[in-house]
Structure 1
Amino acid sequence: MEQIDKQLSFKIRLLSLVSMILVVYVHAYTLDLNGFAGALTEHKNYNTFIQDFISHGIARVATPLFFTVSGFLFFIGFKPKAAVILQKLHKRIPSLLIPFLLWSAFGIGLYYVLQLFPSITPYFPNRIIRDMSSEQLLTTLILHPIPYQLWFLRDLMMLALVATAVWLLVKYLQENFLALLAIAWFADLDFGIFVSESLLFFSVGCYLKTNPVLLAKIKANYNFLPVLFAWVGLLVFKTELSFLGYENQVVLMLLHKLAIVIGFVATWRCINTVADKTRIINRKWLFSAVSPFFIYAFHEPLLTIIKKGLLIMLYSGTEITSLLVYLFAPIVVILASIVAGEVLRRTTPCLFQVITGNRDKPTTKQEHISPKQEPILVKTQV
């Protein structure tokens, strides 16, 4: 089995955790979203600016980062041979398919239980579980899960099926293939079975894995401040355009995606620098007690329920209430996810491993390393 540098493995873990926190804030909007123009509201104010800047700006790098990491890990040890391809697909069953079905079923069950209470039912106008036919339940389970963030797993499963074609195209077309995918992404085109964003960044992960020289360069420690300032500055500019009511969706889309590209680089450089210059990778709780995948799967529909509940209880018709719910509901959900995940890990470890796709096994003391240590090679689950 091919091996990767242990320190790189820890950086990927830290990157996944940071990205997962950002995903929660992507879903934290307390306002309707108006495409690339940000929050949908008649009047823009400090509330819409902050929510747009965070959820429609900073946090939007999370999904590309996830797909890149997934693509990189998928193509470790990959060869266009039947035995290798079948092995890779077989591993996707416990790591993707089973968690997808279990968490989707959990969402259906949770809604069904909540809808047993007449006072709560009106807050679920579009999905009354008890009124669904068998066909509708199956569609909800597989195609339109209640925990809507599961689309990421669904796309990954589809990408696994076309991974050989991706590998061949990346190997022989190199940057030309990525350029074509980037054009499709900037043009906001989709491919039916998965979105252009997922294919592009999954392919970027493949490209990084098949180009060890480039991988060595991105592992090098560069000054992250210039690209970080460029990213934040572009996000401020883009958010300000939306705040002023700028209506050209094409320009807003291009700025939005350019910011994602710059943010993609900035986030990695920040993570790389923090991991190399601190001892954060020795923090046992960070790698054994916190499960990025559990936060990902557990945070919705819990976040939506908590947001609705807080807005109902605290509503005063002011923007400050909306903003406070936006800022603090994700924190409550993240902490609840960490606690619930740790309880399950300790009380029902087998169940925890199944629902997290065997991603979050406890880390032993021997696995912790100092940034000053020489790289150690370890087997990595893909």
Structure 2
Amino acid sequence: MTTLQTPFDQAASQAAPARVSRGAELPLTIEVARVLLVIGLVFLHYFAYPNSRTSPFLGYDPVHHPFATFVNSFVLLFFFSAVPLLSAISGWLFFNLSARPMATIGRRIRGRVSSLLLPLVTWNLLTLLAGYLLYLAVPTSGLRGEFGFDFAAADAFGVLDAVLGLTRLPIAFQFWFVHDLFLTVLVSPLLWLLLRHAPLLGAVGLCAAWLAEATFGIFIRTDVLFFFYLGGLARVRGTDLRIAWRTARWLLLGYALLMAARALAPAWFDLTDPQQREMLDLATRLARPLGVVACWGACLRLAETPLGEAVGRYGGFAFFLHAAHFPTIAFAKFALWRLVPVETDGWMIAHYVASVALTIGIVGAGAVLVFRLSPTLYAFLAGGRRLA
């Protein structure tokens, strides 16, 4: 049976000759990266503890539950590298072009309509429906705020905006990545011209736009665009993607220490000062390329192990988990918080881990059910992937 293709599905055919150390195939490393990074995004999208006064994006709370808030903030900041690395992998796979590059690019753009745009529309409509049913059933529920959408005042444009992310985040906010990836694919002919004729100038220009948080009027953020281009640059230059584990280990340690220091920043900086906040945001952004290389090196190493081989088998679940983990995690947080006996750091961390585990379990069960009912429907919802 023919299934839809995602940017990651090209791995087996496009990257099969490449190998990493000790014989682990590069496609396996890509699958391992997809699974682990999407799980990282589920942790990231837990956001703040229900009883926390501080957003984990700012760092830990030095007054109220400092240890629990540090753990939450550190994990969130660490997985800021997830979207850049997934984008770089997409670019590396996309720009493996034939002798007729523009024809190949055109064909791949058309393919991304079915593997990116249509799932984006479908999942956002489902999320909108879930929020609307909650609004009808419990109009005063605090969970309504998780959707960031006023169902009472919704009009046609508001619904369209919530689904497509025209002027705001999609209602299933995690789809900002798919939104920007699809737009990046649409402008890939321009990126290809830069890669062919001014590769380093293009990298510098897109890096400047990324650091300045420019959106070019169409992107939600330019993280995807910039790192997709870097992945393409690595492909056209034939960059060796192998990283010695000794090097990757030090990079991983350095990145972890930087993110730990960033999580502890409220102890040393006044985050109500716009200048200090802007400086910290820039420093956090500058650390992401280090996180990309460090996490890729860790995935290379894991892919050499039996555990990595086991993790890689779930690559066909990663897109589905990314698509369905919100609003699932919002409901999981709400339900499990009622079971917390006392608001201590230990119980807060337990709730954090349990909420993510329950979310993955619910989505996993849903994926198996959908796949058993209709592999074709699953492939559509999972961006072309099949469940192993």
Structure 2 length-normalised TM: 0.82
Change (3 A) 1:131 1:313: farther
Secondary structure of 2:157's counterpart equals: helix
1:54 aligns with 2:75: yes
Contact 1:112 1:130 in 2 (8 A): no
Q: Decide which of 9, 16, 41 is 1:5's aligned counterpart.
A: 16
Contact 1:78 1:85 in 2 (8 A): no
Change (3 A) 1:331 1:354: same
**Which residue of structure 1 aligns with residue 265 of structure 2?**
241
Kindly provide the CA deviation profile for residues 16-61 of structure 1, in whole angstroms up to 9, marking residues without a partner as x: 11110111111112257659633679757122211111112x1111
Change (3 A) 1:289 1:45: closer
Q: Following TM superposition, by how much is the alpha carbon of 1:175 offset from its aligned partner in structure 2, in angstroms?
A: 2.7
Aligned partner letter, 1:279: P
**Separation in 2, partners of 1:241, 1:41:** 10
Alignment of 1:278-297 (within 5 A): 278-280=305-307, 282-283=309-310, 286-287=312-313, 291-297=317-323
Q: Alpha carbon RMSD of aligned pairs, Å?
A: 2.7
**Separation in 2, partners of 1:185, 1:192:** 13
Aligned partner letter, 1:184: A
Structure 1 unaligned residues grouped into runs of 5+: 363-382
Kindly provide the CA deviation profile for residues 250-272 of structure 1, in whole angstroms up to 9, marking residues without a partner as x: 33123312332211111111111
| 349-358 or 178-187: bigger deviation | 178-187
1:142 aligns with 2:164: yes
**Which residue of structure 1 aligns with residue 253 of structure 2?**
229
| 39-48 or 23-32: bigger deviation | 39-48
Secondary structure of 1:232's counterpart equals: helix
Secondary structure of 1:330's counterpart equals: helix
Alignment of 1:158-307 (within 5 A): 158-194=183-219, 195-212=221-238, 214=239, 216=240, 218-223=241-246, 224-247=248-271, 248-276=276-304, 278-280=305-307, 282-283=309-310, 286-287=312-313, 291-307=317-333
Moved segments of 4+, more than 4 Å: 31-36, 39-44, 78-82, 315-321
Kindly provide the CA deviation profile for residues 102-160 of structure 1, in whole angstroms up to 9, marking residues without a partner as x: 10111011112222323764531553536522232222222243211011111111111
Secondary structure of 1:166's counterpart equals: helix
**Which residue of structure 2 aligns with residue 37 of structure 1?**
58
Contact 2:34 2:86 in 1 (8 A): yes
Change (3 A) 1:346 1:120: farther
1:19 aligns with 2:37: yes
**Separation in 1, partners of 2:139, 2:212:** 45
**Separation in 2, partners of 1:319, 1:119:** 32
**Separation in 1, partners of 2:28, 2:315:** 14
**Separation in 1, partners of 2:58, 2:181:** 28
**Separation in 1, partners of 2:203, 2:180:** 18
**Which residue of structure 1 aligns with residue 95 of structure 2?**
75
Aligned partner letter, 1:357: G
Kindly provide the CA deviation profile for residues 58-98 of structure 1, in whole angstroms up to 9, marking residues without a partner as x: 11110101111111222222677553333112101110111
Contact 1:288 1:360 in 2 (8 A): no
Contact 2:59 2:265 in 1 (8 A): no
Secondary structure of 1:179's counterpart equals: helix
**Which residue of structure 1 aligns with residue 20 of structure 2?**
none
Secondary structure of 2:15's counterpart equals: strand
Change (3 A) 1:101 1:221: same
**Separation in 2, partners of 1:122, 1:262:** 38
Structure 2 unaligned residues grouped into runs of 5+: 1-9, 18-24
Contact 1:231 1:259 in 2 (8 A): yes
| 4-13 or 128-137: bigger deviation | 128-137
Structure 1 length-normalised TM: 0.84
Kindly provide the CA deviation profile for residues 185-221 of structure 1, in whole angstroms up to 9, marking residues without a partner as x: 2333332211221111010111111111x1x2x2253
Q: Decide which of 314, 329, 333 is 2:340's aligned counterpart.
A: 314
Change (3 A) 1:78 1:244: farther
**Which residue of structure 2 aligns with residue 327 of structure 1?**
353
Contact 1:303 1:333 in 2 (8 A): yes
Count of residues in correspondence between the two structures:
356
Secondary structure of 2:170's counterpart equals: coil
